[in-house]
């Protein structure tokens, strides 16, 4: 016969895991998520308009589309700040994307020049 164990030496019984509650993140960061979504939509529409016209670096995107999206992103940014949502990364990214969509060709040229400069700096730092 096995020895009897005292109740103090047994591990406590396992309790069921807490039930998964739906995330409140979407409710608390609604304006920030909307701002980021508007920025993504703005940059996508600007890219589609630019590529459709075959004028990627020579013209700015259609202002009738990009300016209202930028204004909507700025309003969502303001709402997020006023609601004190706290996640300012989404807001900054959304407004930055919407702002980049206003002058997409120039932003792409700037990004290409910056990438070339970074590659040149890296090569020079490895050589010297």
Q: Is the pLDDT of residue 69 over 80?
A: yes
Q: How confident is the model at residue 65 (pLDDT cuts 50, 70, 90)?
A: confident
Q: What pLDDT digit, counting tens, does each position of 90-128 carry?
A: 899 999 999 988 888 778 778 888 899 999 998 888 887
Pick the more confident residue, 108 or 78: 78
pTM confidence score: 0.67
What is the Rg, in whole angstroms, of the alpha carbon atoms belonging to the chain?
Answer: 26
Q: How confident is the model at residue 86 (pLDDT cuts 50, 70, 90)?
A: confident
Domain ranges of the chain: 29-127
């Amino acid at each position: 016969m096995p020895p009897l164990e005292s109740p103090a030496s047994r591990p406590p019984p396992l309790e069921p895991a807490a039930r998964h509650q739906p995330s409140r993140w979407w409710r608390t960061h609604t304006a920030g998520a909307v701002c980021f979504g508007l920025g993504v939509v703005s940059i996508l529409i600007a890219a589609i308009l630019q590529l459709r016209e075959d004028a990627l670096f020579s013209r700015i995107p259609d202002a009738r589309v990009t300016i209202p999206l930028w204004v909507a992103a700025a309003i969502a940014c303001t709402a997020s700040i006023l609601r004190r949502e706290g996640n300012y990364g989404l807001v900054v990214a959304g407004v930055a994307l919407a702002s980049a969509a206003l002058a997409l060709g120039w932003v792409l040229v700037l990004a290409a020049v910056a990438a070339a400069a970074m590659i040149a700096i890296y090569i020079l730092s490895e050589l010297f």
